[in-house]
Amino acid sequence: MGLEHNANQVSTHLSACANCETSLEDKFCPSCGQRYRSERLSLKMLLIDIPSQWLNLDKGFFYTFFQHFKSPGSVAKRHVEGQRVVFTNPLTYYLIGAAAQLLMLCVFKDVLSEKMIAQVQQSPEMLESLKGLLGENAPKKYADLYLSVINQGYTYLGFIFLCIPFALFLRLFSKKHRQVYNTAETLVFSFYTMGHFVLCTGLLGFISMMINPDIHAPISVLICFVFGWLSCRGFYGKAHHNGFASLFALVLTFVTFLSTLVIMMGIALHTR
């Protein structure tokens, strides 16, 4: 009797699964297995979801990847609204993107190193300054330090100084944005957006590095601002999207990220 009463009580309050729209009779969907949650997404819930989906690279990853092209911003929007089983976890998606970047940097390490060495040798003043800091074979040591900092930039530095600032700036510069989504929900959007940007530029690097390494950075910047802005509009919707605030948030985010890399490079040079 107690179990029947409990089931009836659950079915009274639940209507349909947010992920597959199957009628619910319990806290878990009988069709896709997603848990029903009536409360809004919170930081605690976000952190709990990460371990359970860490290795989930089934249809979810490819579906997530192509949906970002088909409808920028919709993945995060649908995830926040409750459709989470079909998508790769936002943090996992960012880390996959970071892995693509690291693989690209590893494959083309020699190309990038030679490019950095050539740039240093073209500037006598820079060459002398680096010799004073790094000693013999300074250009090669400088190139190795640079690549090391870039590698860090796409792992923990990207997590702290790319994804988090983007979410905070989006909320800081627009009241409209704050009215629609809370901090955790905006972080979901940030991880998906930056993850897709990092993933795409990492994959693109395998082509651009073979054609002309100099075109990789400009193309990456273009992708960032075009995709980032379109994603903001898709996530917030036309009624709540502040285009200027989104663009300003993107600019400040990358200024923050690049400034961090410069500081880290300075620290590496003076502690070598």
- Give residue 129's pLDDT: 86
- Give residue 48's pLDDT: 61
Per the model's pLDDT, the better-predicted residue between 8 and 29 turns out to be 29
Q: What is the mean pLDDT of residues 178-187?
A: 94
And the tokens for 187? 């972080």
Q: What is the mean pLDDT of residues 24-53?
A: 68
Would you say 102 and 204 are in contact if contact means Cβ atoms under 8 Å apart? Answer: no
Give backbone dihedrals phi and psi of 16, rounded to 5 degrees, phi first: -145, 150
What is d(CA 233, CA 30) in angstroms, rounded to the nearest whole number?
A: 34
Would you say 127 and 143 are in contact if contact means Cβ atoms under 8 Å apart? Answer: no
Other CB atoms within 10 Å distance of the CB of residue 79: 24
Does pTM top 0.85 for this prediction? no
Residue 117 predicted with pLDDT over 50 = yes
And the tokens for 92? 């996992």
And the tokens for 198? 């990092």
And the tokens for 224? 């960032």
Per the model's pLDDT, the better-predicted residue between 56 and 196 turns out to be 196
Q: How confident is the model at residue 232 (pLDDT cuts 50, 70, 90)?
A: very high
pLDDT in tens, 197-224: 999 999 999 999 999 988 999 999 999 9
25 DSSP assignment = S
Per the model's pLDDT, the better-predicted residue between 117 and 29 turns out to be 117
Burial 222-259 (b: 16+ CB within 10 A, else e): eebeebbbbbbbbbbeeebbbeebbebbbebbbebbee
Q: What is the mean pLDDT of residues 104-130?
A: 88
Residue 12 predicted with pLDDT over 60 = no
What is d(CA 243, CA 127) in angstroms, rounded to the nearest whole number?
A: 44
Other CB atoms within 10 Å distance of the CB of residue 115: 14
15-29, 37-51, 85-99, range with the lowest pLDDT: 37-51
The residues with which 28 forms a beta bridge, in sequence order, are 35
- Give residue 167's pLDDT: 96
Residue 31 predicted with pLDDT over 90 = no
Would you say 114 and 139 are in contact if contact means Cβ atoms under 8 Å apart? Answer: no
Question: Amino acid letter at 88?
Answer: T
- Give residue 47's pLDDT: 66
Average pLDDT, the chain: 85
Question: Amino acid letter at 175?
Answer: K
Q: What is the mean pLDDT of residues 126-147?
A: 86
